[in-house]
Amino acid sequence: MKGFAVVVGFCAFLAHSAVLAEAPGDPLSWLGRIASAGHRLNYSGIFIYQSGKNFETSRIAHLADPVGGERERLEVLDGSPREVIRNNSEVRCVLPDQKMVIVDQPGGQRAFPSRLPASFGGLAENYRIRKGEVGRVAGLDAQLIVLEPKDNLRYGHLLWAELQSGLLLKARTVGETGEIIEQFTFSDVKIGGEIGSEALKPRYTGESDWRVVRAHGVEVPREEIGWSLSAPLPGFALTSVVRRPLGNDRGEALHLVFSDGLAAVSVFIEPAGTSGTRPGVVPMATGAVNMYKRIVAGHVVTALGEVPLETVRRMGDGIERGAR
């Protein structure tokens, strides 16, 4: 039996070495694999989201069809039922308890395991990027890629990618002292193969009395914004400007997105009379998301994102009326 164990261990070593030989050595090449794998591969599985003491389990199925594009179904398995159905760029968030369906085109927002943008070349300007050790996630060998922020305006990120496919198996966001801000981890995953229609079929079809909220924004030319950031934050650039309906005859909000290529801050600007927010500064935090509100020129400015509080505070304080 001892000899059998030695043979098995030696075979495992050879298989592991062969995989390592095929994998790229450059950490930037790994980021490229991670960025594309979440979109081009078929996969299904169960992952756990952790934020502080809160945990949430979700089931996901993703189909990459050369003809029909991407289709995805995500179902939250804990607490109040929720389901997210994606068909290419359109996302339908179904909330059965509220009898509501929210239809949106989130644009630059990225969900696990597609956490990285297609264009990531600028990340090296704001993060030190290096390879870590090879570990195991959901029973699969995974290469660790570490992104260490060069300042205190963004969090650090640890990314574990499956060695053969590059699919992101685990993503951890960490604070300045290394504390876990949030984490996504596959507990079970199947990469490749067929994704049946049943796996993508919505559980909730929506009844006639359900409310449908269409949150699609309308793009606004940057020269017509009427607002500007007086003191730009290092590494963050304006990437998107849209007008979004507030609902219930409350008018519209201007939605600006500033990003460094990985971290993003959303700034919403709406008339003060529509939000019920009292004048004054209101900082808040929920898990990895920090939020900061203030009143300026008769409008409520809300800055929020998965960044440190200092970042949203500086972003919120820097927004002023008038185009630059």
The predicted-structure confidence for 69-124, as pLDDT tens digits, reads as follows: 999 999 999 989 999 999 998 999 999 999 999 998 776 567 899 988 777 778 89
Strand 156-162, strand 168-174: pairing: antiparallel
Q: How many domains does the chain have?
A: 2
157 and 239 share a domain? no
| Residue 133 forms part of a structural domain | yes
Domain containing 313: what range?
217-321
152 and 45 share a domain? yes
| Residue 15 forms part of a structural domain | no
Contact (CB, 8 A) for 270 and 253: yes
Strand 211-214, strand 100-104: pairing: parallel
256 and 113 share a domain? no
81 and 159 share a domain? yes
What's 229-295 look like in SS3?
ECCCCCCCEEEEEEEEECCCCCCEEEEEEEECCCCEEEEEEEEHHHCCCCCCCEEEEECCEEEEEEE
Q: Look-up: residue for tokens 């694999």?
A: 33
91 and 221 share a domain? no
Predicted TM-score (pTM) of this structure: 0.85
159 and 284 share a domain? no
Q: What is the CATH number of the domain that holds 77?
A: 2.50.20.10
User: Which residues sit opposite 67 in a β-bridge?
Assistant: none
120 and 248 share a domain? no
Better pLDDT: 63 or 12: 63
103 and 232 share a domain? no
Q: What is the CATH number of the domain that holds 277?
A: 3.30.200.100
Contact (CB, 8 A) for 282 and 296: no
178 and 37 share a domain? yes
Q: Convert the pLDDT of each residue in 122-157 to its tens digit.
A: 889 999 999 999 999 999 999 999 999 999 999 999
Q: Greatest CA span in the chain, whole angstroms?
A: 79
Interacting residues of 125 by C-beta distance below 8 A, sequence separation 6+:
235
Q: Convert the pLDDT of each residue in 211-254 to its tens digit.
A: 888 877 888 888 888 999 998 899 999 998 999 877 666 678 99
231 and 163 share a domain? no
| Residue 207 forms part of a structural domain | no
Better pLDDT: 304 or 3: 304
User: Which of 110, 105, 302 is CA-nearest to residue 218?
Assistant: 105
Q: Look-up: residue for tokens 């067929």?
A: 194
Q: What is the mean pLDDT of residues 36-59?
A: 94
Of 173, 200, 227, which residue sits at a domain end?
A: 200
Interacting residues of 13 by C-beta distance below 8 A, sequence separation 6+:
none
133 and 176 share a domain? yes
90 and 230 share a domain? no
| Residue 91 forms part of a structural domain | yes
Q: Convert the pLDDT of each residue in 174-216 to its tens digit.
A: 998 999 999 999 999 999 999 998 999 998 876 778 988 887 7
